[in-house]
Amino acid sequence: MITKTETKETTIEPASSETQDSRTWDLDALNEKYLKLTPQQRIAELYNDFDKVLLTSSFGTTSALLLHMFYSQGVKEKVHFIDTTYHFKETLKYRDSLRELMGLQIEDVKPERWKNELTYKSELWRKDQNLCCSINKVEPLETIKKDFQVWVSGLMGWQNDHRQSLKVFEEKNGIIKFYPLIDLEEKEAESYFETHDLPVHPLKPLGYESIGCKHCTIKGAKRQGRWADSRKTECGLHT
């Protein structure tokens, strides 16, 4: 269960990108250790076990929760935002409002321009959603993943069946993934927003509970509004 935390005066500075670490990690031991901790404690402890941390955010309806937990722990970690060029304008405004609120340092990660333009001209999202996601989301992140040891994501188990099966740590495609919020209950997430008076994504009150690219997102509970006309449930970043 999460508890209210205040912003600390001390900060946890990310290690230099020049730091090289050849350690191997025992994922079973890490999961056993971190499962006993609160999400805030997990974030603080992460920097005792890893040096090069990749933090990403979609700036969707639940994103402010994870970002505020880093902020409240005094962690000054750069936030990587995958700019597919297909985001709702409301998402971009929400990103900017959270940047101002928490003093976030945000780096946009973009697809190759020519590939992105081809997806636009061909309306690829109508023909091959997996390929469109691969070009505009998965490939851009692949270009920077090699520089990090662990990738932090705000997935929560209640969001869909796939996420319900995840542990705090897993290894996926050459990088360790860290889900500090994975066992957080939906009501706890809602309570955190209220307790810390966090701003809500402007599309959430309109019925959008999960928000991605505008062509593939409609209103819907949890993730039911994503790729609603297909069996697709994930963009490929987390599968």
Domain ranges (residues) in the chain = 27-197
Predicted local distance difference test score (pLDDT) of residue 161: 64
pLDDT at 22: 39
Higher pLDDT, 236 or 169: 169
Nearest of 49, 79, 74, 85 to residue 64 by alpha carbon = 79
**3 or 177: which carries more pLDDT confidence?**
177
What mean pLDDT is predicted for residues 184-213?
A: 93
Dihedral sign for Cα atoms in the order 198, 223, 216, 155? positive
Spatial contact of 43 and 67, defined as CB atoms under 8 Å apart = no
CB contact set of 62 (below 8 Å; sequence gap of 6+): 154, 156, 189
Strands 175-178 and 169-172: antiparallel
pLDDT beyond 80 at 226:
no
Q: Please give the Cα distance from 109 to 95 (Å, whole number).
A: 14
Asked whether residue 159 carries a pLDDT value surpassing 80, the answer given is: no
Q: Which tokens go with 196?
A: 């810390």
- Which is more confidently placed, 60 or 21? 60
Q: What is the mean pLDDT of the chain?
A: 84
pLDDT at 20 over 50: no
CATH number given to 27-197:
3.40.50.620
Confidence at 222, pLDDT banded by 50, 70, 90: confident
Residue 122 pLDDT: 96
DSSP annotation string for 23-50: ----HHHHHHHHHTS-HHHHHHHHHHH-
Detail the residues annotated as belonging to a binding site for [4Fe-4S] cluster.
132-133, 213, 216
Question: Which residues are part of the catalytic machinery?
Answer: 235
